Amino acid sequence: MRHSAERIRTRLLLGIALACLLPGSGSAQNDDAGWDDEGWGDDPWAEDQTGWQWYGFIEGAVAPRLQSDPATDEDFTLAETRLQLEGERQLGDYTATVKGDVWLDGVEDGGRGDLREANLAGRLTASTDVVVGRQIITWGTGDLVFLNDLFPKDYAAFFSGRSDEYLKAPTDALKLSWFGPLNVDVVWMPRAVPNRFITGERLSYFSPRAGRRVAAPPRLDPRDRDSPGDDSELALRVYQTLDGVELAGYAYHGFDNQPSAQDADGRAYFPRLSSLGASVRAPVAGGIANLETAYYHGEDDRGDDPDRPNDQWRWLAGYENEPVSDLTIGWQYSLEWMQDHDALLDALSPEQRRYAPDQYRHLLTNRLTWQGPRQDLTLSMFTFYSPSDADYYLRPRARYRFSDRLSGTLGANLFGGEDDWTFHTQLEDNSNAYLRLRYSF
Amino acid sequence: MTPTLRLALVLAAGLLAGATQAQMTDATAIVEAANQASYYAGDDGRSAARMMIVDGNGNRQRRQFTLLRQDVEDGGEQRYLVVFSRPADIRGTVFRVEKHVGERDDRWLYLPALDLVKRIAAGDKRTSFVGSHFYYEDISGRGVSEDRHTLVETTDEAYLIESTPRDPDAVEFARYRTRINRDTLLPMRTEYERADGEVYRRMEVTEVETIDGYPTGTETRMTDLDSGGYTVTQFRYSEYDIGIPADIFSERSLRNPPRDWLRRD
């Protein structure tokens, strides 16, 4: 088993080398050829396009763990060669988009695939846009901190060393947007789409039940929420910009994206979740300030059932500016305030009480980004630090664009803290450094 | 001097000289007119643009985008929408700017892979525009009142203006000299100098066409004389006064680019 995993890794490294050496053939875009009067046809709206336009990339990525993980004998959180293809086609006023990934996975040992987008988007009326099908949806003002954005995330990808874009997981939805004195987005998801949460397969996590960090097997396997209609979710955003100040209100009625509850048989499931929230974002003193809040109404609104999540009030405040040319600094403070904390503690057994979340979880984040004068080199550092959990998560990264086609990213995901069971510390043994090389076409 | 009197004098001077164009003598008025000709032609406009970025080692990169512009007032506030189609890793990225005069611009960036509308802190305008040798300020214009302008020379073809920054700490140059064509009022060459007089950065307009009655620089080259790198920007399919509605410059257009307005006629 170990032997075949080694073979796969060898292949992956070959894949990375191949990605670097690929010639510019079979591609609609050449780096410097086409600097004549032919090349102007590339804009999708240049003329009426017929047929599919194809784009994509090949990426090789490896992320060795920086320490051994007693919960698993897997030394890598990521080892893969990936192909993404994206097709786009104009159909009258509508655009059809298909985007899919296939990859050879050296951690899960085998071929994998993921359909990330398959949708039809366009103008329904002069003041209404529609997107129907599989899509990525994002809203809210946080930077890697989400309050009112309850669309699915892929934390396994984010923590294991994949590119940032994989943090957002696709959802099957109908999105209607109406533009008027107030702009309104309504998103209906016929079946609940949960996060791609940590199951133990790629990353280990802390199990309060086991009282230690665990990894698959067995894989965390919650009850599905996939019956169309019964398990549908609805998300709403109302927003407008007034004199540079962006105001928004949000509502959500669906399910928690994390399997945060347990039924009587001890099986995890996705409990009901409704939320209401608001945000404001505006320029302040040369930078951008944002404030966002969300009230989460969980299944247990009295707090005395430890197997189901309690209500929470969340807050986020942020500020970003560019104090020196090409250097951007962003700060965020977020608060998760559990509403019936005393009741939760009373309901827990003494041995489980130590694992209970705090009444107030404080989280500070900092993002530093520096771009070289030609923007070829980007250095960044994103820090999560929770004074209440006494844990941290660091994301240092260097990205270099060798050309319009080839870019390389070197970075790390570093977790640590005091207590094994807090959000970031539980991932400690998954700390990894990664290298990705991407060839775009 | 009242504008009417000044105009009368200018006209009289022109008639006396037998010249076909008026001769302007006030440096700031010339720079304002040049700013108007370069950045405010018509009430709005659309153009396809592409850049070839060549670094000092000869490595080439490409950018291609369509630009929509609307003037809120001539010489004042403007709205921009820039939709990228090349290279592959920034295709679908949309950049929106509300340009203000005398205060910081509002800027938004849409990243399609994340469906993310990011608001960007309005930072230094003299940093690279999408990795090219052009600065943001070269694309959308530098406030006329940010520098002191002197008319150095007037030839048959051009005005030569020297400009020095009112706030020298805010910029990397000590002064710049601009050669402004007297017919079109387009700045045809700008050279940025260090304090010792060394020219380190040069902008040249290498192609001009009159489109919808407006002389338009359709090819511009920016050279970094220190590294030898340069960027050539070409504009094609430019049109003016096409009647773009104000609400095109909104979040809606970031997520769903306005094809009807981006399409070339």
Delimit the domains of chain B by residue range: 23-262
Please, which residues 80-109 of chain A have a Cβ atom closer than 8 Å to chain B? Answer: 93
Please, which residues 183-202 of chain A have a Cβ atom closer than 8 Å to chain B? Answer: 183
pLDDT score at A30:
43
- Alpha-carbon distance B201 to B189, whole Å? 11
Best-predicted range by mean pLDDT (A225-239, B2-16, B38-52): B38-52
Question: What stretches of B87-242 adopt beta strand conformation (E)?
Answer: 94-99, 106-111, 116-120, 147-154, 158-165, 175-181, 187-193, 199-211, 214-224, 230-240
Mean pLDDT of the region B116-134: 91
- Alpha-carbon distance A109 to A69, whole Å? 18
Residues 6+ apart with CB under 8 A from B161: B27, B30, B31, B149, B150, B151, B152, B177, B178, B180
Q: Which helix (H) or strand (E) holds A441?
A: none
Mark the ranges of chain A whose per-residue pLDDT is less than 70.
1-39, 41-49
Which residue pairs from B21-29 have beta carbons closer than 8 angstroms and sit at least 24 positions apart in sequence?
A: B21/B182, B21/B183, B23/B154, B23/B182, B24/B159, B25/B151, B25/B154, B26/B151, B27/B149, B27/B150, B27/B151, B27/B161, B28/B144, B28/B149
Q: How far from each other are the two terminal CA atoms of chain B, in whole angstroms?
A: 45
Instruction: For residue A249, give the nearest of A280, A272, A283 by alpha carbon.
Output: A280
Distances (CA, A) of A136 to A15, A189, A208, A302, B260: 28, 12, 32, 34, 24
Q: How far is A50 from chain B (nearest CA, A)?
A: 15
Instruction: For residue A77, give the nearest of A155, A1, A14 by alpha carbon.
Output: A155
**Is pLDDT at B1 greater than 90 in this prediction?**
no
pLDDT score at A425:
94
Please, which residues 11-70 of chain A have a Cβ atom closer than 8 Å to chain B? Answer: 29, 31-32, 35, 39-40, 42-47, 55-57
Mean pLDDT of the region B113-132: 91
User: Could you report the per-residue pLDDT of B243-259, keeping only the tens digit for each?
Assistant: 999 999 999 999 999 98
Contact A411, A397 (CB under 8 A): yes
Outline where A43-167 has alpha helix (H).
Answer: 155-160
User: Could you report the per-residue pLDDT of A95-114, keeping only the tens digit for each?
Assistant: 999 999 999 999 888 899 99
Selected for mutation to probe chain B from A374, A406, A437, A441 (highest B CB count within 10 Å) is A374
**Matching residue, tokens 């771009």:** A371
**Matching residue, tokens 């387009």:** B186
- Alpha-carbon distance A311 to A315, whole Å? 14
Work out whether strand A268-269 and strand A233-242 pair parallel, antiparallel, or are unpaired. Answer: unpaired
Nearest chain A Cα to B172, which residue? Answer: A325
Residue B5 corresponds to which tokens in the numbers above?
């009197």
Give the phi and the psi of residue B46 in degrees, each rounded to 5: -135, 140
Nearest to B66 among A43, A56, A328 (CB): A43
**Is pLDDT at B131 greater than 70 in this prediction?**
yes
Q: Which residues in chain A have Cβ-Cβ distances shorter than 8 Å to B106?
A: 244, 283
Instruction: For residue B99, give the nearest of B67, B136, B51 by alpha carbon.
Output: B136
Nearest chain A Cα to B261, which residue? Answer: A45
- Alpha-carbon distance A429 to A431, whole Å? 6
Residue B252 corresponds to which tokens in the numbers above?
């809606």
HSE-up (13 A, CA, CB side) for residue A124? 13
Which 3 state secondary structure label does DSSP give A217? coil
Q: Do B115 and A136 touch (CB under 8 A)?
A: yes
Burial of residue B2, with CB atoms counted within 10 A of its CB: 0-12 exposed, 13-18 middle, 19 or more buried: exposed
Q: Which residues in chain A have Cβ-Cβ distances shorter than 8 Å to B236?
A: 40
Q: Do B257 and A45 touch (CB under 8 A)?
A: yes
Q: Which residues in chain B have Cβ-Cβ distances shorter than 8 Å to A373?
A: 127-128
Q: How far is B124 from chain A (nearest CA, A)?
A: 6
Which of the two residues, B60 and A209, has the higher pLDDT score? B60
Q: Which residues in chain A have Cβ-Cβ distances shorter than 8 Å to B66?
A: 43, 45
Assign a CATH topology to domain B23-262: outer membrane lipoprotein receptor (LolB), chain A (2.50.20)
pLDDT score at A332:
98
Q: Which residues in chain B have Cβ-Cβ distances shorter than 8 Å to A129?
A: 252, 255-256
Indicate the range of A3-12, A49-58, B173-182, B191-200 predicted with least confidence. A3-12
Rounded to two decimals, the ipTM of the complex is: 0.90
**Matching residue, tokens 């291609």:** B64
Give the phi and the psi of residue A155 in degrees, each rounded to 5: -70, -30
Residue B142 corresponds to which tokens in the numbers above?
């530098």
Which of the two residues, A229 and B59, has the higher pLDDT score? B59
pLDDT score at A299:
87
Instruction: For residue A317, give the nearest of A152, A151, A143 by alpha carbon.
Output: A143
Delimit the domains of chain A by residue range: 2-22+49-440
**Is pLDDT at B197 greater than 60 in this prediction?**
yes
**Band of residue B18 on the pLDDT scale cut at 50, 70, 90:** very low
How long is chain B? 265
Q: Do A129 and B252 touch (CB under 8 A)?
A: yes
Nearest chain A Cα to B111, which residue? Answer: A165
Could you tell me the pTM of the whole model?
A: 0.89
pLDDT score at A343:
86
Which 3 state secondary structure label does DSSP give A60? strand
Q: Which residues pair with A297 in a beta bridge?
A: A274
- What letter represents residue A143's amino acid? D
**Is pLDDT at B109 greater than 50 in this prediction?**
yes
CATH class of A2-22+49-440: mainly beta
Give the A:B interface size as CB pairs under 8 Å.
140
Mean pLDDT of the region B38-54: 95
HSE-up (13 A, CA, CB side) for residue A288? 23
CB atoms within 10 A of CB A70: 11
Instruction: For residue A201, give the nearest of A213, A219, A214 by alpha carbon.
Output: A219
Nearest chain B Cα to A49, which residue? Answer: B263
- Alpha-carbon distance A288 to A266, whole Å? 45
Give the phi and the psi of residue B215 in degrees, each rounded to 5: -60, 130
